[in-house]
Amino acid sequence: MQCTPEEIERKRRLAQERLSKKTKSPFSHCSAETNLNSPPKRTPLETCRSNTAKSPSSYTPYTNKYTPYGKPKPVLQFYGAKNVVTGTCSLISDTRFTVELSSYSAPCIDTFKTISSRFYDSKTKCWNFHLDDYPVFQQKVSSLQPDVVIGKLPAYVLACCRQEKSDFSNVDLSHIDPELHNILMPHQIDGVCFGIEKNGRCYIADEMGLGKTFQALAIANYYKTDWPLLIVTTSSMKNEWEATIHKYLPSVSIMQTQYMVSAKDYIGDSTILILSYDLMSRAIDKLLERQFKVIIMDESHMLKNFKTKCTKVATTLAKIATRVILLSGTPALSRPSELYTQLALLDEKFFGNFFEFSKRYCDGKSTNFGWDSTGKSNLAELEVILAKKFMIRRTKNDILKCLPNKQQEIVNLDVKLNQLSEEDRNSLKSLALLYNSKKAPCDKHAALLTFFAETSKIKIPSVCSFVLQALEIEKKFIVFGHHQRMLDAVEQIVCSKKKKYIRIDGKTTSIQRKYLVDKFQYNDDYVCAILSITAANAGITLTAAKLVIFAELHWNPSILSQAESRAHRIGQDGEVVIRYLLAPGTADDSIWPILQSKQKILKEAGLCKDSFDDLQITNQDLSAKKSVPESPKITSYFPPSDKKENGFESDDDFDKFVTHSEICDKPEDNNSDIFNDGFEEILGNHDITSGNSSPQVSFLDDGLDDILCNVELNI
């Protein structure tokens, strides 16, 4: 049965009237007649559906005032989620904990006052209590929920604080070789006892120069029944470990001590194996097959990144080993997150996982770029946990009361000494503007690296002028630099004064390092040591120097502290002066505040005692400008690569030089003859003869002619 168009229109109107009565809202002021006469409003989705419908005239009415299937909005009550007071608990010492509230709460404060051990710190504006009252505190605070919610202390924190104080009097050290035991100082004996108490899984983090190597060997020697022993260190420290083992562990044969050179070496018969971190990651299969039960990780801060292959291999080896001893004078270089991978080598299950550790101690939070763990939080509690569970750390001020003082100074260089060209000045200004304009951390870091490299060029003449002043004092000193161009410039200025020096950088082998260090230490003719900050900040002793000059800075304050300790350590008999050469208007203005902020974080965690905040600031002595024959240009230290071997840019320059030079024909005038290399004068003073007729020694007679004359040739 087919309906006529009139019937279809009539049924449509009736259906629309019934629908309008059902969906009519009490807030609607429009009548049904108005809705019928006015065109209905449709959403884009309804428009799309109407276009795809079979009948072009079919559509669904829409009212904007009432949505029967819409999600109801939540009604906020007076005591809603925004009014809840939250708080966190954390340790401030091994006997007290503090509570930090998000906002003021009168009921919460009244509850705090009922606890006997309460104390209000006016500086931090927080309440703290004795740890013995923690169960009472939790019971009373729980009655304030849900208006007040205070987080609990982690279980591992409470368990760690309940441990009894260490008593080293019962530790028997008779198992250690007498040669090694007799040289141990009192603080080193305490470190050995601490490691034995922790069952050979400990972190010795004494400051540089306090003898961590002896303590590690003594702990490993105590557990000699668990050997073979694996020692992982840097490439430059291989000789130091070998020499110490051969000298103080005579019970170990020289044939049983092996240094692994390549991943193909046979290590099946080695009792003590020494290898570098790089080789450890490439020889994992052989190391797992050998089953090392005692492991020493020297400079363990190199394992700070859990993503590297080296750290993953070290974690695998630590799971198999029974004893793991970590050594580092700088456990964390910049931030607390660098500690987790090292602590996980000792006890993987203590913190749970990195997420829990970073959330508790690194102010971990989720951002648009992922999980951010570069911050800091609860550092006082972290210091307590480290001392109780993992680490023993002593400073030189605590142990070596008789060690001479260390004086740190900042020297503002006079950049006017450079006499920069207009091009150099514009380049420096543009790099500074580029660094300040960057917003993203990665872009800002890349711009600072470029700015830092350009700063080394700018500082070279002023640094060389300062080095000339140091040479006039005629006392041994150390110059640290970062870029090769800076080291080359300092070497050139020392050579010009005909002074003996040593230079250690990334190209120096381990054998050469020991030879050069001995030259500087025991030979008075060597007055200057030119060192790379990254290549020579650890593993060497240069106590013969009383002055340390930092021509350039480094990103990590711990690296600078390690470099300072090359001179300020056991064996130093005089005051050590540390001078940081900073150039105003360069990248030093940005790097120095970064160093100060990083050092402040490490100091709060108890990993650093030094401070860059209150250093004495002096200006460069301009009297040294007279000792410089000419004001050198920056380009003089960086000859272009296309320069010819004869030293002239082009043939025209060579012709111009010859034209303006006075070439004298007199042979005795050597200063005016540019072609006189002195060899003719040498030949003129010697008689060149053949045979043995002359009693004088012939200059070119090597004796070969006499041999040939006495040989009979049988043809």
Same domain, 281 and 192: yes
> Is residue 389 domain-shared with residue 435, that is, in the same domain?
no
Q: Is residue 442 part of a domain?
A: yes
382: CATH: 3.40.50.10810
Q: Are residues 202 and 346 in the same domain?
A: yes
Note whether residue 275 is domain-resident: yes
Q: Are residues 547 and 448 in the same domain?
A: yes
Q: Please give the pLDDT value at position 602.
A: 80
Residue 549 has pLDDT above 90, yes or no: yes
Q: Using alpha carbons, select from 256, 236, 235 the residue that is nearest to residue 246.
A: 256
pLDDT score for 678: 45
Give the whole-angstrom CA distance, residue 102 versus residue 451: 42
Tokens of 145: 């929920």
- pLDDT at residue 370 tops 80: yes
Q: How far apart are CA 713 and CA 715, in angstroms?
A: 6
Domain containing residue 144: 85-153
pLDDT at 633 over 50: no
Which residue type does 287 have? L
Q: What pLDDT is stored for residue 420 in this prediction?
A: 54
- Looking at the structure, do residues 545 and 432 belong to the same domain, yes or no? yes
Residue type for 256, please? Answer: Q
Residues 235 and 346 in one domain: yes
Q: Which three-class secondary structure string do you get for 180-211?
A: HHCCCCHHHHHHHHHHHHCCCEEEECCCCCCC
Please give the average per-residue pLDDT across 483-507, as a whole number: 92
| pLDDT reported for residue 416 | 61
Tell me: pLDDT of 700 over 70.
Answer: no
Indicate the number of domains in the chain.
3
The pLDDT assigned to 54 comes to 46
Residue 661: both structure tokens together:
């030079």
Model confidence band, residue 12 (pLDDT cutoffs 50, 70, 90): confident
Share of the chain above pLDDT 90, in %: 37
At 175 the pLDDT is 87
One domain, residues 328 and 431 = no
Q: What is the pTM of this model?
A: 0.66
What is the DSSP track for 353-388?
A: SHHHHHHHHS--EEETTEEE--S---HHHHHHHIII
- Within this chain, do residues 365 and 235 fall inside the same structural domain, yes or no? yes
Q: Which of 233-237, 294-298, 343-347 has the lowest mean pLDDT?
A: 233-237
Q: Which of 74-88, 164-178, 391-405, 480-494 ranks highest by mean pLDDT? A: 480-494
Same domain, 524 and 504: yes
Whether pLDDT at 59 is above 90: no
Residue 137 has pLDDT above 80, yes or no: yes
Q: What is the mean pLDDT of residues 564-582?
A: 89
Overall average pLDDT of the 603-626 stretch = 72
Element (H, E) at 335: none
Q: Are residues 253 and 314 in the same domain?
A: yes
Pick the range with the lowest mean pLDDT from 112-121, 464-473, 476-485, 704-713.
704-713
pLDDT of residue 429: 60
Strand partners, 412: 582, 619
Instruction: Express as a percent the part of the chain with pLDDT over 70.
Output: 73
What does the block give as tokens for 28?
Answer: 């609607």
Helix (H) or strand (E) holding 300: none
Claim to verify: residue 388 and residue 441 sit in the same structural domain: no
Q: Is residue 159 part of a domain?
A: no
Task: Give the SS3 label for residue 237.
Answer: helix
Identify the weakest region by mean pLDDT among 274-288, 495-509, 667-681: 667-681
Enter the tokens of residue 340: 């987790």
Residue 224 lies in a domain: yes
Has residue 338 got a pLDDT over 50?
A: yes
In a domain, 692, yes or no: no
Domain boundary among 398, 428, 445: 398
Same domain? 349 vs 412: no
- For residue 90, what is the domain's CATH number? 3.40.1170
Instruction: Output the pLDDT for position 631.
Output: 38
What does the mean pLDDT of the chain come to?
A: 78
